Each structure stands twice: as structure tokens, then as C-alpha cells.
Amino acid sequence: MKKILITDPIEKTCIDILEQSNFQVDYRPGLKEDEIVGIVSDYNILIVRSGTKVTKKIIDNSTSLELIARAGAGVDNIDVNAATHRGIIVMNTPGGNTLSTAEHTMALLLSMCRNIPRANNDLKSGIWDRKKYLGTELFGKKIGIIGLGKIGKEVAIRCKAFGMEVLGYDPMITQDTAQKLDVKLVSLEELFKHSDIITVHVPLSSETKNLINKSIFDKCKYGVKIINCARGGIVNEIDLLEALNEGKVSSAALDVFEVEPPIFPNDLISHPNVIVTPHIGASTKEAQEKVAIQIANQIVEFYKNGILIGAVNAFSLEKNITDEIRPFIELATTLGKFFSQIHSGNVNVIKLKYFGSLLHKYRETLTAAFLIGFLSKKITGSVNFVNAQILAEETGIRVVESIEGEHITYKNLMTIEVDDKGYFNLLSGTVYGTKELRIVQINEFSMDIHPSNYMLLYENVDRPGMLAAVGNILAKNDINIAGLSLGRTKIGEKALTLINLDSKLATQVIDEIKMINGIGNVFNIEM
């Protein structure tokens, strides 16, 4: 039974779904970092919202953790790199709070343009002054939306309903998509230059941190208005305060802050032209319920059916693996293990070639599977679909994928090749029928190898008695031969022999075989 720890407040429906699916759930909101460190090794799954900071310290102490699930969209409170390195999947609930955040953006937009908070406070204090708060209409204004993902698109739709002209920046959005939204795609430079109001809807990353800063404010219209309902740190708070004081920015509306909760007193928060809310963009009853149910169902779907939804660091698992591709994933892992034991040199670049439309479709998954097999024989520690690529990079291995056309012999074929010095340098494999794995080429030798747990591979001179000499040594050491595959270039020249064995070879047996005249490049292979 998988054990789940929940360290942030969450709707009871999430717990109910998980317990009904036979997960053991411990609901302990409010735990501090050191408290989590002390118990996290007892759990397979950690569920958090935005309150818990899942630090490297927590992750490094999580000996059993397989999945970190974020009930919400942002994962900047999770050290994704540390989790990836440990092979832990990080999952979020994309789209669960889309409408709530989009509506909150509009609420801040209207409140800012019509001075509603200040007017409300004055009237409650007994002050009636209709002239004091001159507002700004939305109709005809240009709003620049940075990030046209799910939330950005919903904001665009609502802004169009107010008669605004929407400028958008998102390098992932096509012109067709923008046209359907009636959004004008522009460069960031154009967006800053022409927008009356700017709102950001992008994740916080190294590329977006301090995206809007002093140099950007200098490019904006005088009196521009700024909204941030995305993540604190995207708008530089020091530069924003300076721009507000200078009048370059006429007003700002912020739901998120670089440090949460902010440090008080806070000149930006107390500025008369700034509207603030305490990170409540997703805080609606509907959104809370939605993400709670969504994260629970995603966890159940992954553990019960093997389907991963919402993973932020396991792209290769996002696809729904079909029975058709499953044998090729096993083949890729097998080829990785096999190749790691027959290539005698250092590996810097591995070229993976995929022949056939099926392998083209799943090449990312197959590459990850190959690396799992290859690295499992090279390094200590767990290697899986999550961390295979990053571990390869850390060991100095670069993988180059290529999609090839139809192979002359095989419908689907996977080939591994390296240019480094060493031997062997080329390996190819396929699947016969629906599940029969075959290695069909090693270097220049055509083969028909059925991989098994124990194999002996060696080169030999193509002459009578070579196989018998090896067989005698195996028989003397009570090692049974389970299968055989032979390949040669020309009669009487170099040949390649692979023998499937029923048991493991001892070092002294291998040494005896190496002493046979005419045999070289002997490899003991264990799967």
C-alpha cells in the first residue's frame, strides 16, 4: 500500500478519493521543514499546495519518495531539479484554477482602473467625494498579455468582452490560435511600447525572473498600469516602487509577491496607487474543490493504470503507452544494458537512429528507456524515466536522435552508434511479431540474438573447432548453453559468436576462454 503525506490544507474530497483507492493518507498540514525531513522517508507520495516549500533538504532525505504532487499550477515552491536528480516525479494540476485566476485578474483590473478600494475605504470612513477618484475606462484601451497559456487566454477573452484591444506575447502560440482569440501577436518590445495596461501570466523561471524591471519601465508608455497575478519576482518590486513614485507607472495591482508573506512595513504595499491581495487568485470554493479532486484522480490514474498526467519533469511518460510500443521500450532498455557492456571505450556522444513510424512517434520515451538500461550498468543509484537524461548529461554523455526513413529489411529498427575509440561501436535491435526481442546487428555482423540474463560474446577466427573449444571450457565448469547466434564477414575470416547461458560466468572461466588461440574481445554480459 502506497503511503501519502499531505502537508498543506486541502479539500476532504481529495483524501476520500485516495483512501477509497487503497492509499494510506496522513493529513498533517502545517509541518515545518525539519518536521517533514524527519518523517518523509516513510512516504511514497507527498501532496502540497503553495504553503509547503519542498526543499532539496527534504528531497535528499526522502528515501522512498516517488511522487511530489502539487495541488495547483505553480511548482516554484518545489525544488524540481533536486527531485528530478533523485528520479522523483513532480506533478501539478494544470488548468485547475484557470478561471479563478483569470477572474481575479479582471477584478484587480477593474478595481485599479476605477479606484474602487480607496473609494470604498473613504465612504466607509464617512467621506463622500465623487470628484476625487477619476477612473479610466477599459473600452478602447490596449492591454498587453504576457503569456497566452490557459489563464492568459481566458483573460484575453474577458478583455475583448470589455472592448479592449489585446496585444499578446507568447513564443509558443501560433498565429492561427491568436487569430481565433482576436489577439494581436507582437514582440515583447512592441507590447511594452504600446500597452496601456500590462498583465503577466507566465511561470517564474530564470528567464522570467525580473522580466519587468527598470529598463522595461523606461520603454513603456507614461502612466502604464501593471498587474501580476502569476508569481512574485516576475515584476521587480524595487523598480516598480520607483516607477510608481516617479509617475511612470500610474497604478499597479498585485496578488503575488517575491517574499510571501511580505516583510512589513512595506512601502510598495502601502503605496496609495497599489492594490494588493494576499495571493488569493486561485482561492475560490470551486477552484479549491477542482484541484483537490484533480490531483487525487491524477495520482490514482498513475498508480492504477500507469497513465501520467500533469508531470513537469517526466515528459517521456506523458504519452499513453500502448501495448504496441511496450515491447520496444523493453527492447530499448535491453539494448542500453547490452551496449554498455560491449563498448570498451569512453562514450561522449551516443547516436540513436529510429527507423519506422511507430518508433518515430515514441522516440523520446525510447531514448529515455535506452539511457535507463545504459546508465544502470555505469553508475550507482536509481535511474528511471525522470532522471535518465539529466544523469546522462552529468556523466558527460550527449545523446543525438535522428528519425530515419523505412529500413530496407525491418519495419521498425533501433540503432545505437558511437564514434568514440573502443569496441563494439554499433548495435541494432527490433521486435519480431508482438513481443520477441532481437538484436540483429553488432558492428558489421548480422546476428539473430534473443537476449537472455547471461550471455557470452566474443570474436574469433572463422575456422573449425573454435566453438568446440569454448564449449569444452563451459562444460568443464558445468555451465549449460541455452542458445547460439553466429555472424561472419567472409568464410575463413573474422566471425562473431554470442552464446546464451543458463548461469553466470565466473571470472576464471572468462580468463580461460580468452586464452584460446584465435579468440579476442571477450565480453561477459549480464542483464
Percent of the chain with pLDDT over 90: 66
Cβ neighbours, 10 Å, residue 196: 21
Please give the mean pLDDT across all residues of the chain.
Answer: 90
Distance, in Å, from the CA atom of 365 to the CA atom of 319, rounded to the nearest integer, reads: 8
The model's confidence at residue 326, banded by pLDDT at 50, 70 and 90, is confident
User: What's the average model confidence in pLDDT over 152-173?
Assistant: 92
- Specify the residue for cell string 496522513: 26
User: What's the average model confidence in pLDDT over 143-162?
Assistant: 94
Active-site residue among 279, 326, 360, 488? 279
User: What's the average model confidence in pLDDT over 115-129?
Assistant: 92
The model's confidence at residue 397, banded by pLDDT at 50, 70 and 90, is confident
405: which 3 cell numbers? 526513413
363: which 3 cell numbers? 522516440
User: What's the average model confidence in pLDDT over 339-355?
Assistant: 88
In angstroms, the Cα distances linking 51 to 9, 70, 72, 264 are: 9, 10, 11, 19
Distance, in Å, from the CA atom of 456 to the CA atom of 156, rounded to the nearest integer, reads: 64
Helix/strand/coil for 159: helix
Percent of the chain with pLDDT over 70: 97
Question: Does the pLDDT at position 267 exceed 50?
Answer: yes
Pick left, alpha or beta for residue 306 (phi over 0 → left; psi -120 to 50 → alpha; otherwise beta).
left
Question: Does the pLDDT at position 135 exceed 80?
Answer: yes
3-state secondary structure 137-172: CCCCCEEEEECCCHHHHHHHHHHHHCCCEEEEECCC
Cβ neighbours, 10 Å, residue 312: 19
pLDDT of residue 318: 46
pLDDT of residue 319: 47
Determine contact, residues 318/301, Cβ cutoff 8 Å: no
Distance, in Å, from the CA atom of 154 to the CA atom of 98, rounded to the nearest integer, reads: 8
Is 242 considered catalytic here? no
Burial of 286 (0-12, 13-18, 19+ CB in 10 A): exposed
Question: Does the pLDDT at position 272 exceed 70?
Answer: yes
Largest CA distance in the chain: 109
User: What's the average model confidence in pLDDT over 256-280?
Assistant: 94
Give tens-digit pLDDT for 201-237. Answer: 988 877 788 999 999 999 999 999 999 999 999 999 9
Question: Does the pLDDT at position 62 exceed 80?
Answer: yes
Question: Does the pLDDT at position 387 exceed 60?
Answer: yes
Across 187-201, 397-411, 449-463, least confident range: 397-411
Cβ neighbours, 10 Å, residue 493: 10
Distance, in Å, from the CA atom of 372 to the CA atom of 340, rounded to the nearest integer, reads: 11
User: What's the average model confidence in pLDDT over 446-470?
Assistant: 93
CA angle 377, 379, 385 (to 5 degrees): 80
Question: Does the pLDDT at position 472 exceed 90?
Answer: yes
The model's confidence at residue 380, banded by pLDDT at 50, 70 and 90, is low
Instruction: Give the predicted TM-score (pTM) of the model.
Output: 0.62
Active-site residue among 19, 137, 189, 260? 260
- Specify the residue for cell string 476532504: 12
Is 231 considered catalytic here? yes
Is 201 considered catalytic here? no
Burial of 10 (0-12, 13-18, 19+ CB in 10 A): buried
In angstroms, the Cα distances linking 270 to 134, 233, 265, 267 are: 20, 18, 8, 5
User: What's the average model confidence in pLDDT over 358-381?
Assistant: 85
pLDDT of residue 422: 65
Distance, in Å, from the CA atom of 164 to the CA atom of 264, rounded to the nearest integer, reads: 36
pLDDT of residue 381: 62
Cα-Cα-Cα-Cα dihedral sign, residues 110, 111, 113, 115: positive
